[in-house]
C-alpha cells in the first residue's frame, strides 16, 4: 500500500470518527452566541451547576436540582421573598391539639400537569412511607390521612411546628401520574408554573409554561436550565449572552458584573451560615475557654471583606442569619480581641514555654486540624480556612488545614480524629431554626454534649406557641454565643445575575429556591 495513501486513509478515519460522534450529538447551537434567540422569544436560559439526578420523592433532591424542582413542584406551605410563611397548595391549616395533629385545608381547582386533579389523595401519596422525607426529617409523622377530598390530617408522635417543615422544596406534592401502572417512575408531574418537557443528561433541562396553572401564569414560554459545573465558565457564558441568568455568582465576579452595563446583580442574605464546628469531645476544644478564645481571635469582618469581596455578612458567632425568624437583633456577638483571647488561653493553662510561638500545656503543643470539604463550598471555604489559620496562629494555636472529600471527612469525624470542621447550611431550608439540632446530642453531626442545650432544643421544637418559641430560641442563641459549640463566621449572601433582556426578576432569601413569577424577556 502506498504510504501517502495510508496516511490519508488514517487521517480520514480520524476525521470520520469525530464527524460521526458530532452527528450523534445532533447539531444545535451552531453559533458562538449559543441559542439564537428570536426577538420575541420568551425562553429564559438559566445556568446551573449540577443536573437533576432525581425527580421522585423516594430520594433527596440535592445541589441545584432544587432550583428546577421549585418550578415543577409545589409545597403545601410557601414562603415569600422575605421568608414569611404564606399559603401554598394548602389555603389554611390548624392544629386542634397544640401541634400533635395538623389539619390542612387544600386549595380547590388545582390540576397536575397531566390533567389529574390535586386533592387529598395526592398529599397522602406524596407523604407516604415510601417518601424519603418520612424516613428522614419527618420521622415523627405517625400517619397522613385524607379526611375528605380537600382536607388532610397529619398525626405526629410529638408536637411540632409542621407547617414550617412543609415549606421545603425538596419534599413537595407530586402527582400519582409520576408512576406507571407497575409503580415505576415515568416523569415528573407536579402542579407548578412549569411542566417538564425534556432532559438531556448533564446538559440541559427544558420546562414549558403550565397554561393550566392555578396562580398567576408565567409570562415565559420556556425555562431552559443549562448544566455548567464550572462557575467561571458559567460567568463567561453569561457575559457572552449564552445564558440569561446565573443563580450562584462567584464572589470574585460580583463587583465586575455589577459594573457592567445592562447586567443586573441582585443580592440578598440567604438562610445559610458558614461555621467552624469544634470537636468538643477532645482536647483542646473540650474546654469552653479555648472555644471562646478562638471566637475572640477570628476577625469575621476580614473574612467577608478580605476573602469574600464584601459578599455576605460577618456573623461574629451569631448562629443564624438576621433574616431568619426569632433571630435576636440584640444578640451580643464577638469581635476580634486578641488580648482577651490570649488571656482565656492563659486561664486554661496554655503557655508558650519554649518560645516557638505555639502554646503548650503539660508538654503538648496547641495543635489542631481543620477539615474542609472538597464539595460545593470548597472554593470559598479553602480561603476562609487560611484566614482562620492565620488568625489562630496569632494567639499561639497551630492549625493544619486538610481539604478532603466527604468520605474522608465522615471517617475522621466518626473516629473523632479532628479539631474543627468548616461547614455550611445544615438544616436551614427555611426561616425555622431547625439548625440548632446540629449540636444536640442525638444529632449524627454533633460533637457537643450538654443536657441543658438538648432540653432547650427539644422544648423549642415541641411548642407551636410563637411567644414560647421565641423565648426558647433566644435562649439557645445566647447559649451558643456563651458556650460556643461552634463558631459562626459568615452569613452567606445569595447573588443572582440577570442579562439585559430579563425583566421583572425579584430575588428571594430562601435557598435553594428560584422565583420566576413576573419574569419576562425583552430581547433587542
Partner 1 sequence: MELKRWKIKLKMKCLRASEIKRSISENDRKVRRISMWKYIAKRLAMVLVVISGVTLVSFVAMYLAPGDPAELIALERYGQDLDASQIESVREAEGLDAPVYFQYFIWLDHLLHLDLGRSIITSDDVLEEILLKLPATIELTVAGLLISLLIALPIGVLGALQKNTLLDNCCAFISLIGISIPNFWLGILLIWLFSLTLHIFPSYGYGSLNHLALPALTLGISMSSITARLTRASLMEVMEKEYILAARARGFDEYTIVLRHALKNALLPVVTFAGMQLGYLLGGAVIVETIFSWPGIGKLLVDSIFARDFSMVQGCVLFIAVLFSLSSLAVDILYAVLDPRIRYDMYD
- Applying CB under 8 A, the residues found at the interface with partner 1 are 3, 6, 14-15, 17-19, 21-22, 24-34, 53-54, 59-60, 62, 132, 135-137, 170, 201-203, 226-230, 232-233, 236-237, 239-240, 242, 374, 404-412, 414, 426-427, 444-445
Closest to partner 1 by CB, 254 vs 303, is 254
Q: How far is the CB of 20 from partner 1 (least distance, A)?
A: 8
Q: In terms of C-beta density within 10 A (0-12 exposed, 13-18 middle, 19 or more buried), how is residue 414 classed? A: exposed
Q: How far is the CB of 175 from partner 1 (least distance, A)?
A: 20
Nearest to 368 by CA among 300, 417, 404: 417
What is the DSSP code (8-state) at residue 437? Answer: G
- Residues forming beta bridges with residue 261, ordered by sequence position: none
Q: How far is the CB of 426 from partner 1 (least distance, A)?
A: 6
Closest to partner 1 by CB, 399 vs 409, is 409
Closest to partner 1 by CB, 112 vs 429, is 429
Closest to partner 1 by CB, 212 vs 412, is 412
Closest to partner 1 by CB, 387 vs 438, is 438
Which residues, 6 or more positions from 142, have their beta carbon under 8 angstroms from its beta carbon? 155, 156, 157
What is the DSSP code (8-state) at residue 439? Answer: G
Contact by Cβ (8 Å): 370, 421: yes
Closest to partner 1 by CB, 11 vs 98, is 11
H or E segment to which residue 77 belongs: strand 77-79
Closest to partner 1 by CB, 292 vs 373, is 373
Closest to partner 1 by CB, 66 vs 318, is 66
Q: How far is the CB of 168 from partner 1 (least distance, A)?
A: 10
Cell numbers at residue 416, please?
473523632
For cell 455576605, name the residue: 312
Q: How far is the CB of 287 from partner 1 (least distance, A)?
A: 28
H or E segment to which residue 141 belongs: strand 141-148
HSE (CB half, 13 Å, CA atoms) of 360?
10
- Residues forming beta bridges with residue 43, ordered by sequence position: 222
What is the DSSP code (8-state) at residue 179? Answer: B
HSE (CB half, 13 Å, CA atoms) of 50?
13
Q: How far is CA 30 from each of CA 26, 27, 522, rounded to the nearest angstrom?
A: 10, 7, 23
Question: Which is it for strands 43-48 and 245-246: parallel, antiparallel or unpaired?
Answer: parallel
Which residues, 6 or more positions from 283, have their beta carbon under 8 angstroms from its beta carbon? 364
Q: How far is the CB of 145 from partner 1 (least distance, A)?
A: 24
Cell numbers at residue 95, please?
392544629
CA R_g for the chain: 26
Q: How far is the CB of 59 from partner 1 (least distance, A)?
A: 5
Closest to partner 1 by CB, 17 vs 147, is 17
Contact by Cβ (8 Å): 246, 497: yes
Q: How far is the CB of 275 from partner 1 (least distance, A)?
A: 14
For cell 474543627, name the residue: 420
Helix, strand or coil for residue 510? Answer: coil
Determine the distance from the C-alpha atom of residue 491 to the mean position of all C-alpha atoms in its chain, rounded to a whole number: 13
Q: How far is the CB of 493 from partner 1 (least distance, A)?
A: 22
Q: How far is the CB of 240 from partner 1 (least distance, A)?
A: 5
Closest to partner 1 by CB, 45 vs 79, is 45
Amino acid at each position: 500500500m502506498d504510504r501517502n495513501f495510508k496516511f490519508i486513509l488514517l487521517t480520514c478515519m480520524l476525521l470520520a470518527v469525530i464527524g460521526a460522534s458530532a452527528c450523534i450529538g445532533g447539531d444545535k447551537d451552531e453559533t458562538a452566541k449559543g441559542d439564537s434567540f428570536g426577538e420575541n422569544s420568551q425562553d429564559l436560559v438559566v445556568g446551573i451547576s449540577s443536573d437533576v439526578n432525581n425527580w421522585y420523592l423516594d430520594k433527596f433532591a440535592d445541589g441545584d436540582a432544587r432550583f428546577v424542582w421549585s418550578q415543577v413542584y409545589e409545597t403545601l406551605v410557601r414562603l415569600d421573598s422575605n421568608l414569611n410563611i404564606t399559603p401554598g397548595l394548602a389555603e389554611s391549616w390548624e392544629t386542634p391539639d397544640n401541634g400533635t395533629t395538623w389539619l390542612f385545608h387544600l386549595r380547590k381547582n388545582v390540576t397536575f400537569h397531566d390533567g389529574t386533579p390535586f386533592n387529598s389523595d395526592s398529599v397522602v401519596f406524596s407523604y407516604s412511607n415510601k417518601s424519603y422525607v418520612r424516613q428522614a426529617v419527618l420521622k415523627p409523622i405517625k400517619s397522613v390521612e385524607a379526611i375528605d377530598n380537600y382536607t388532610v390530617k397529619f398525626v405526629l408522635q410529638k408536637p411540632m411546628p409542621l407547617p414550617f417543615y412543609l415549606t421545603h422544596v425538596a419534599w413537595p406534592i407530586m402527582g400519582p401520574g409520576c408512576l406507571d401502572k407497575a409503580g415505576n417512575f415515568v416523569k415528573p408531574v407536579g402542579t407548578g408554573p412549569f411542566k417538564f418537557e425534556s432532559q438531556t443528561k448533564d446538559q440541559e433541562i427544558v420546562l414549558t409554561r403550565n397554561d393550566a396553572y392555578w396562580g398567576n401564569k408565567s409570562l415565559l414560554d420556556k425555562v431552559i436550565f443549562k448544566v455548567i459545573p464550572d462557575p467561571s465558565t458559567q460567568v463567561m457564558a453569561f457575559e457572552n449572552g449564552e445564558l440569561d441568568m446565573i443563580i450562584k455568582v462567584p464572589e470574585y465576579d460580583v463587583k465586575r458584573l455589577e459594573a457592567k452595563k445592562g447586567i443586573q446583580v441582585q443580592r440578598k442574605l440567604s438562610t445559610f451560615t458558614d461555621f467552624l464546628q469544634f470537636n468538643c469531645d477532645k482536647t483542646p476544644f473540650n474546654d469552653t475557654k479555648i472555644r471562646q478564645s478562638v471566637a475572640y481571635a477570628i476577625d469575621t469582618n476580614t473574612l467577608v471583606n478580605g476573602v469574600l469581596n464584601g459578599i455576605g455578612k460577618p456573623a461574629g458567632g451569631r448562629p443564624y442569619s438576621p433574616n431568619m425568624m426569632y433571630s435576636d437583633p440584640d444578640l451580643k456577638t464577638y469581635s476580634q480581641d486578641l488580648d482577651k483571647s490570649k488571656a482565656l488561653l492563659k486561664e486554661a493553662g496554655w503557655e508558650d514555654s519554649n518560645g516557638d510561638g505555639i502554646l503548650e500545656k503539660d508538654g503538648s503543643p496547641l495543635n489542631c486540624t481543620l477539615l474542609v470539604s472538597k464539595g460545593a463550598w470548597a472554593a470559598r471555604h479553602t480561603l476562609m480556612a487560611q484566614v482562620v489559620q492565620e488568625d489562630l496562629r496569632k494567639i499561639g494555636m497551630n492549625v493544619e488545614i486538610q481539604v478532603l472529600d466527604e468520605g474522608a471527612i465522615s471517617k475522621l469525624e466518626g473516629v473523632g480524629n479532628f479539631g474543627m470542621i468548616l461547614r455550611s447550611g445544615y438544616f436551614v431550608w427555611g426561616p425555622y431554626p431547625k439548625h440548632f439540632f446540629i449540636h444536640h446530642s442525638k444529632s449524627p453531626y454533633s460533637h457537643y454534649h450538654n443536657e441543658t442545650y438538648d432540653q432547650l432544643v427539644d422544648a423549642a421544637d415541641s411548642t407551636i406557641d410563637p411567644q414560647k418559641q421565641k423565648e426558647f430560641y433566644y435562649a439557645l442563641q445566647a447559649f451558643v454565643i456563651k458556650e460556643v459549640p461552634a463558631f459562626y463566621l459568615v452569613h452567606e449572601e445569595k447573588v443572582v445575575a440577570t442579562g439585559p433582556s430579563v425583566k421583572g426578576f425579584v430575588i428571594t432569601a430562601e435557598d435553594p429556591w428560584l422565583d420566576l413569577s413576573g419574569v419576562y424577556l425583552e430581547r433587542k
